[in-house]
Amino acid sequence: MKKAYVFPGQGSQFPGMAKNLYDTNPVAKEMMEKANNILGFRITDIMFEGTPEDLKQTKVTQPAIFLHSVVMAKCSPYFSPDMVAGHSLGEFSALVAAGAMDFEEGLKLVSIRAMAMQKACEKTEGAMAAIIALPDDKIEEICNETEGTVVAANYNCNGQVVISGEKAAVDAACAKLKEAGAKRALPLPVGGAFHSPLMEPARAELAEGIKKAVFHKPVCPIYQNVTGKPSTDPEEIKANLLSQLTSPVRWTQSVKNMLEDGADHFVELGPGKVLQGLVSKIATGPVTIEGHQEL
């Protein structure tokens, strides 16, 4: 049996997230208070008592989900991965959990990433939309033919791809995709065009942070979003982590490769159950898929 731990990305947050961990686990409380000090504001107050709108701010969402996910990994006596992966932001959580970065280093990079992405979102009106039940190559073809910037951004599972780009271009592509037979073309409630060329300004800012950060060889392979393939090489991991901001999240490919490499037990660490649902739609054989009980 090979166990794969997977870590969620933006959109999995909820009011009250990680409060039980903070209240009942001394290690979790210590890590969260350390995060408050590093960030320069009490993110735990927003996580525990903030509204959904408070938590939707990118500068809050990303460190909150990262913190929740990493604390669960660090506090679990059962965490012993054969492989890890994270969806978008979750890749940072996966890297810290697998020992490729220290907690403090990872949190600082996530904070840089979040602030840079929020600034990039304010420069251009971007949008994202989930396209249901249309082949990947057809989605790519229509995006390429649409005027303006719109690209396939998240390959989430079979029959579900998220497109991203300029709002007008995304709207135009959605209309064409529905005409081509998509069951749904659903606009997503996000603040920008993540994993598209519109994130290039954020990529430049993150590059400086990654350049200064210390990376180690992880304890197990990490299947990275940009390639969907495993890596344990710190320099390769850094390069892929930077490319991720403007490149698509190849989640379907990542999970398929993990399955081919023997994963038969997936555990989602962090808020929500999004990845459990996606893995269940990608896996074709007998696979155990579960969340992780808070300690």
Strands 83-86 and 2-7 turn out to be parallel
- The verdict on whether 195 is a catalytic residue reads yes
Q: Tokens representing 209?
A: 């942070």
Closest C-alpha among 119, 144, 100 to residue 234: 100
Q: Give the list of residues 6+ apart from residue 150 with CB closer than 8 angstroms, or none.
A: 143, 163, 164, 165, 166, 169, 170, 172, 173, 196
Q: Give the list of residues 6+ apart from residue 284 with CB closer than 8 angstroms, or none.
A: none
Length of the chain: 295
Please identify which of the residues 88, 93, 231, 247 carries the catalytic annotation: 88
Please identify which of the residues 12, 68, 111, 195 carries the catalytic annotation: 195
Q: Give the list of residues 6+ apart from residue 163 with CB closer than 8 angstroms, or none.
A: 128, 129, 131, 139, 143, 150, 151, 152, 153, 170, 173, 174, 177
Q: Which residues are catalytic?
A: 88, 195
